[in-house]
């Protein structure tokens, strides 16, 4: 069964450093998402992406965040200058079309020191 | 904010049916009820969704009351691997592309 994959599974970085989280959505999917979950808290929406542009973003998704689909298969989330509070699990999701359901990847655990 | 209310936790014996309730008293006519679950440290997993009719798939059944103000997710024969946090989510339309707003969910513990 096709699945969303994410790399790396774990990332440790120093505060102020840039990180790039990578996702490979299911191959025929058109809509892409990033969510995050701070330890012990709810899953929170960050951003959605369709047709090579952001379609919706939350208040969390400020200027430090950016997304890109550089090569038609990968979908990346970049955090330009990480803060301690960026430590969380980051989940990528994708879906095939408007009437379909979102499939989530296994997540990347980001720890900012 | 999430528009649903769920119990914080529930227990179920292995092999028995797990019935997880959800209140969504302010649901609108064009809003669907979705259920996802999250096994520890994994990504959320879609289970089932419905508008007003009861739904069943290979994972679970969804019972929605006639007034649509509440619903119950039923796992007919719970196994240890069903231990997870279960999220009831209300969203506009059946369009999957709209964002998911997660609440705190119900922590279901299935024990031997």
Q: What digits encode the pLDDT tens for the residues A39-90?
A: 999 999 999 998 889 999 999 999 999 999 988 789 999 999 999 999 999 9
* Chain B, window 62-101: residues with a beta carbon less than 8 angstroms from a chain A beta carbon: 87, 94-97, 99-101
- Is pLDDT of B96 > 90? no
B52-71 pLDDT tens trace: 989 999 999 999 999 999 99
Alpha-carbon distances of A27 from A3, A63, A96, B45, B97, rounded to whole Å: 9, 29, 9, 18, 16
Instruction: Tell me the two tokens of residue B9.
Output: 């936790």
End-to-end CA distance of chain B: 35
Q: Do B44 and A45 touch (CB under 8 A)?
A: no
Question: Is A28 within 8 Å of A96 (Cβ atoms)?
Answer: yes
Q: Residue B2: pLDDT band by 50, 70, 90 thresholds?
A: low
d(CA A96, CA A77): 20
Q: Tell me if B93 sits within 8 A of B33, measured CB to CB.
A: no
Distances, alpha carbon A82 to alpha carbons A111, B23, B47, in Å? 10, 38, 34
CA distance A99 to chain B (A): 5
Chain A residue at shortest CA distance from B102? A43
Q: Which residues of B fall within a CB distance of 8 Å from A109? A: 41
pLDDT confidence of residue B95: 59
B61 interfacial to chain A (CB closer than 8 Å): no
As a whole number of angstroms, the distance between CA B43 and CA A108 comes to 10
On average, the pLDDT of chain A sits at 93
**Which tokens hold the place of A47?**
């951003």
Q: Do B46 and A45 touch (CB under 8 A)?
A: no
**Taking CB atoms and an 8 Å cutoff, what residues of chain A touch B44?**
43, 91, 93, 104
Q: Is B8 on the interface with A (CB under 8 A)?
A: no
Mean pLDDT of B81-97: 83
- Asked if the Cβ–Cβ distance from B102 to A102 is below 8 Å, we say no
Nearest to A106 among B43, B99, B100 (CB): B43
User: What residue of A is the nearest CA neighbor of B94?
Assistant: A99
**Residue B25: is its pLDDT beyond 80?**
yes
pLDDT for B1 equals 56
Please work out, in degrees rounded to the nearest 5, the angle formed at the alpha carbon of residue B111 by the alpha carbons of B106 and B112. 160
- Residue B62 near residue B33, CB atoms below 8 Å: yes
Q: What is the DSSP letter of B5?
A: B
Please provide the average confidence, as pLDDT, over all residues in chain B: 91
Q: Where are the alpha helices (DSSP H) in A10-63?
A: none
Name A53's bridge partners.
A50
Instruction: Provide the percentage of residues in chain A whose pLDDT is more than 70.
Output: 97
- Above pLDDT 90, what percent of chain A? 78
Contact B82, B47 (CB under 8 A): no
Measuring CA to CA, how many Å separate B60 from each of A14, B4, B35, B68?
43, 19, 10, 18
Testing the interface with A: which of B97, B102, B105, B107 to mutate, by most A Cβ within 10 A? Answer: B97
pLDDT at B94 over 70: no
Rounded distance, CA A3 to CA B26, Å? 34
Q: How far apart are CA A100 and CA A84, in angstroms?
A: 35
């Amino acid at each position: 069964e096709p699945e969303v994959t994410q790399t790396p599974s774990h990332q440790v970085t120093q505060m102020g450093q840039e990180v790039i989280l990578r996702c490979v959505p299911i191959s025929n999917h058109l809509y892409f998402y990033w969510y995050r979950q701070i330890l012990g808290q709810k899953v929170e929406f960050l951003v959605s992406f369709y047709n090579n542009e952001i379609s919706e973003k939350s208040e969390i998704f400020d200027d430090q965040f950016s997304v890109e689909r550089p090569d038609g298969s990968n979908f990346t989330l970049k955090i330009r200058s990480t803060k301690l509070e960026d430590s969380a699990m980051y989940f990528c999701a994708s879906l095939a079309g408007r009437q379909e359901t979102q499939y989530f990847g296994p997540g990347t655990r980001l720890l900012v020191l | 904010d999430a528009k649903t209310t769920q119990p914080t936790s529930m227990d179920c014996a292995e092999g028995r049916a797990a019935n997880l309730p959800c209140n969504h008293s302010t649901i609108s006519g064009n809003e669907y009820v979705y259920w996802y679950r999250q096994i520890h440290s994994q990504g959320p997993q879609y289970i089932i969704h419905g508008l007003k009719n009861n739904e069943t798939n290979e994972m679970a059944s969804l019972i929605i009351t006639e007034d649509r103000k509440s619903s119950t997710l039923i796992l007919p024969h719970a196994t240890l691997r069903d231990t997870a946090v279960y999220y009831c989510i209300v969203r506009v339309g059946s369009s999957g592309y709209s964002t998911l707003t997660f609440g705190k969910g119900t922590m279901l513990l299935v024990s031997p």
